[in-house]
């Protein structure tokens, strides 16, 4: 069971809770943080001083005083008026991840919410009651206001307790109103107190949650891309010199050295490598450690930023001893948006160089003596198209990634009467990164599928040659599920099988560096 205290939530824990439904509770320190913070808020309220979001309006209305008797209505109005998202619903795993991140943020002890708010969120998670959240409409700057307000609709209410104001949620395999879902799960909806509406919907929580899942997936993707690279290197009779440790040590880039080392281990004892007698290969093979290595370095940087963010206090104002509410801008999602843009670029480049290797293996002018489009033999060309179209699909996905990887964090439009005059666009950046990674997994699957066929054809010419110790394992696990077919066939479903394989525990057990968490 994961325990949250606002300080130690990890990306691994988010992934396990979001995808594997690991249960969550509040730690002893977290309980203490919540009680201390709530009592602090109550003392601040008693002073009667103007405090943003407690006894004032929001955004452009920050200077408008609100009577204390209307504080509950103020919180409720905030949620109702801000739940204006649009677009297809977010993936269930994303919503679960965001619920955990928000609960952790509140547990840090700077938000002044009652313990009941966090307990309700965790009870929903533990019973797999997941709000339906529109995917579009957040700028990620006053936080993900829209998505978090849609989340709050489900588990909060007011004296009217209208079903029509309770949003939608998934529970027990059905889409229900929030009120119906909570009732069916036996979870009591709560009436918000002072500041609690703002504490729930203020912060780039959905952006950070998506980013956390992207980091988990990119880590796996980059390892898989090294396996597909090694298989392509075998299929193309590639040169080993480009992976010599001395070359990479001379440059000193950590990710580059790691990729080269992994490739050396995968192709160890291969009799295909260097068999062509070439001095050097094309960039997509020879420079792969340089390209895929910086992607690994970028991932480590982004991981650092996002692990800070999922343990950050991100609403406004924040409450501090002694009896002080301080307004600031921790809700602004620039750190998430900019860092996840970097990861999008890195993943897009790993997929792009993979597609170039697919192209080389299918082009008879470039593939070191293999048949065009990897048809079974020269005489089969024409009647059979071979793997012409899988390369089209890979190229299409890479082109889509090129568009999606254009940075979103550099774009801003003002909102709230120019009070919020610089916005992060972090939610869009995170959604794009999520899609880029899904596209990249498919490109890597196509490369492995293509390399396996190219290896089959290469074996006809070199029947007694052995693959490397790692590449042989990858090739064998693919061929156990998908036998070689000489003529044209329905390649698409077979590529989907390869994608399922590389995301499976079967691959994980063979290659210890791989970690699979039920990627959807």
Is there a cis peptide before residue 400, judged by omega within 30 degrees of 0? no
Residues 6+ apart with CB under 8 A from 227: 266, 448, 470, 471, 474, 502, 511
Q: Is the dihedral of CA 249, 252, 258, 259 positive or negative?
A: negative
Active-site residue identified among 52, 434, 449, 475: 52
For residues 80 and 186, give the distance between their C-alpha atoms in angstroms, rounded to a whole number: 23
For residues 83 and 146, give the distance between their C-alpha atoms in angstroms, rounded to a whole number: 5
Question: Alpha carbon 228 to chain centroid distance?
Answer: 21
| Spatial contact of 153 and 110, defined as CB atoms under 8 Å apart | no
Which tokens go with 160? 């009217």
| Spatial contact of 38 and 110, defined as CB atoms under 8 Å apart | no
Instruction: For residue 177, give the H/E element and its range.
Output: strand 174-177
Q: What is 69-98 written as a DSSP string?
A: GGHHHHHHHHHHHH---EEEEPPHHHHHHH
Which tokens go with 117? 């708010």
For residues 222 and 59, give the distance between their C-alpha atoms in angstroms, rounded to a whole number: 42
In the 8-state DSSP scheme, what is residue 371? P
Among candidate residues 69, 71, 43, 46, the one with its CA nearest the CA of residue 57: 71
CA distances from 227 to 11, 449, 473 (A): 24, 12, 10
For residues 195 and 264, give the distance between their C-alpha atoms in angstroms, rounded to a whole number: 57
475 in active site: no
In the 8-state DSSP scheme, what is residue 309? H
Q: Count of residues for the chain?
A: 520
Question: Alpha carbon 441 to chain centroid distance?
Answer: 13
The residues annotated as belonging to the active site are 52
């Amino acid at each position: 069971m994961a325990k949250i205290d606002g300080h130690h939530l990890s990306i691994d824990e988010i992934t396990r809770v979001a995808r594997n439904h690991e249960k969550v509770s509040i730690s002893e320190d977290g309980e203490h943080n919540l009680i201390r913070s709530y009592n602090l808020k109550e003392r601040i309220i008693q002073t009667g001083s103007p405090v943003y979001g407690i006894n004032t309006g929001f955004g452009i209305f920050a200077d408008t005083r609100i009577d204390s008797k209307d504080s509950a209505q103020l919180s409720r109005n905030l949620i109702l008026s801000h739940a204006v998202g649009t677009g297809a619903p977010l993936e269930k795993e994303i919503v679960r991840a965001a619920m955990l991140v928000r609960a952790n943020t509140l547990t840090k002890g700077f938000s002044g919410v009652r313990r009941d708010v966090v307990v309700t969120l965790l009870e929903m998670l533990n019973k797999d009651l997941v709000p339906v959240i529109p995917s579009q409409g957040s700028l990620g700057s006053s936080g993900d206001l829209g998505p978090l307000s849609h989340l709050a609709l489900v588990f909060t209410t007011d004296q009217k307790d209208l079903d029509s104001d309770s949003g939608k949620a998934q529970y027990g395999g059905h889409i229900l109103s929030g009120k119906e879902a909570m009732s069916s799960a036996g979870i009591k909806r709560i009436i918000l107190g002072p500041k609690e509406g703002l504490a729930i919907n203020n912060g780039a929580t959905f952006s950070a949650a998506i980013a956390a899942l992207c980091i988990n997936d990119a880590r796996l993707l980059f390892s898989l891309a090294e396996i597909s690279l090694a298989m392509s290197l075998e299929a193309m009779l590639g040169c080993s010199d480009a992976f010599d440790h001395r070359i990479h040590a001379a440059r000193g880039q950590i990710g580059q050295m790691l990729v080269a080392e992994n490739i050396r281990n995968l192709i160890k004892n291969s009799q295909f490598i260097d068999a062509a007698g070439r001095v050097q290969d094309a960039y997509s093979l020879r420079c792969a450690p340089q390209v895929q290595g910086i992607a690994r370095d970028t991932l480590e940087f982004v991981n650092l930023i996002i692990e800070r963010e999922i343990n950050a206090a991100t609403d406004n104002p924040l409450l501090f001893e002694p009896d002080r509410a301080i307004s600031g801008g921790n809700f602004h999602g620039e750190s998430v948006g900019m860092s996840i843009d970097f990861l999008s670029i890195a993943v897009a480049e790993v997929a792009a160089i993979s597609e170039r290797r697919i192209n080389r293996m299918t082009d008879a002018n470039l593939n070191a003596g293999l048949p065009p489009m990897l048809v079974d033999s020269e005489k089969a060309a024409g009647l059979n198209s071979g793997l012409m179209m899988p390369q089209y699909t890979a190229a299409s996905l890479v082109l889509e990634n090129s568009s999606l990887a254009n940075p979103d964090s550099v774009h801003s439009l003002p909102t709230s009467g120019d009070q919020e005059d610089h916005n992060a666009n972090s939610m869009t950046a995170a959604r794009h990164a999520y899609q880029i990674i899904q596209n990249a997994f498919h490109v890597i699957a196509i490369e492995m599928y293509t390399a396996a066929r190219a290896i089959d054809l290469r074996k006809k010419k070199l029947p007694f040659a052995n693959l490397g110790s790692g590449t042989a394992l990858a090739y064998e696990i693919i061929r156990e599920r998908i036998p070689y077919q000489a003529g044209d066939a329905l390649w698409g479903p077979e590529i989907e099988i390869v994608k399922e394989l590389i995301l499976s525990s079967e691959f994980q057990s063979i290659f210890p560096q791989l970690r699979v968490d039920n990627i959807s």
